C-alpha cells in the first residue's frame, strides 16, 4: 500500500544525515562547521584550488553563499584565498596545512554516515536504492 510519504521521509533522512555529520565532526573536535563547509572541503580534497564559482556549482549553493562559507573557512584557518594570475577576477580557494589535516576526519565521518544509510541493506537493496534515487532525481 503506497503511502505517498517519500517526500517527507527524504526530508527526514536529509535532516538526520546532517545531524550525524555535525555530531561526528564535533566528536573529532571540529566545531562551528555545517555540512556545506564540509562539502567545500571535500571537493577541495579532490581538487585543490577551485574557484568560488566552481565551488558554488559543485555544492549547489549560490555564489554569495559560497563567499560567506569560504570567509568562515578562512577565519577557521582551513583554507586561504589566492588570486589567479591569468585572471585576477578569479579567486582560488586553497587548502592550508590545517585544512589538509582534516581529510581523514571527513573520510571517517563520511564512512560513518554511509554505514548508517546503507548498513541495513543487502547488496541488491543498495543497488535498488541508488537506482531509484537516481531515476527520481532525473525526473525533476
Partner DNA sequence: TCTATATACATAGACATCTATGTATCATAG
Partner DNA sequence: CTATGATACATAGATGTCTATGTATATAGA
User: Which positions touch a second copy (CB under 8 A)?
Assistant: 2-7, 9-17, 20, 60, 113-114, 116-121, 123, 125-130, 132-140
Q: Check if the beta carbon of residue 93 is closer than 8 Å to that of residue 51.
A: yes
Q: Which residues of 103-128 are buried (b: 16+ CB within 10 A; e: fewer)?
A: eebbeebeebbeeeeeeeeeeeeeee
> In the chain, which residue ranges form alpha helices assigned H by DSSP?
6-27, 35-46, 52-59, 63-75, 97-100, 103-118, 123-138
Stretch that binds DNA, among 23-31, 63-71, 98-106, 118-126 (CB under 7 A): 63-71
Stretch that binds DNA, among 35-43, 95-103, 112-120, 127-135 (CB under 7 A): 35-43
Considering only residues 67-106, where is the footprint of DNA by CB under 7 A?
Answer: 67-72, 81, 87-91
Considering only residues 3-32, where is the footprint of DNA by CB under 7 A?
Answer: 32
Q: Which is nearer to a second copy, 91 or 106 (CB)?
A: 106
Amino acid at each position: 500500500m503506497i503511502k505517498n510519504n517519500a517526500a517527507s521521509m527524504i526530508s527526514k533522512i536529509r535532516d538526520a544525515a546532517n545531524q550525524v555529520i555535525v555530531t561526528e565532526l564535533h566528536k573529532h573536535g571540529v566545531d562551528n562547521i555545517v555540512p556545506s563547509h564540509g562539502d567545500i572541503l571535500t571537493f577541495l580534497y579532490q581538487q585543490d584550488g577551485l574557484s568560488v564559482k566552481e565551488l558554488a556549482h559543485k555544492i549547489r549553493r549560490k555564489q554569495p553563499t559560497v563567499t560567506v562559507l569560504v570567509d568562515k573557512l578562512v577565519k577557521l584557518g582551513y583554507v586561504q584565498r589566492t588570486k589567479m594570475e591569468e585572471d585576477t577576477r578569479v579567486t582560488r580557494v586553497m587548502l592550508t596545512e590545517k585544512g589538509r589535516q582534516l581529510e581523514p576526519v571527513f573520510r571517517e565521518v563520511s564512512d560513518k554516515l554511509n554505514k548508517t544509510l546503507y548498513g541495513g541493506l543487502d547488496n541488491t537493496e543498495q543497488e535498488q536504492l541508488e537506482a531509484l534515487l537516481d531515476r527520481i532525481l532525473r525526473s525533476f
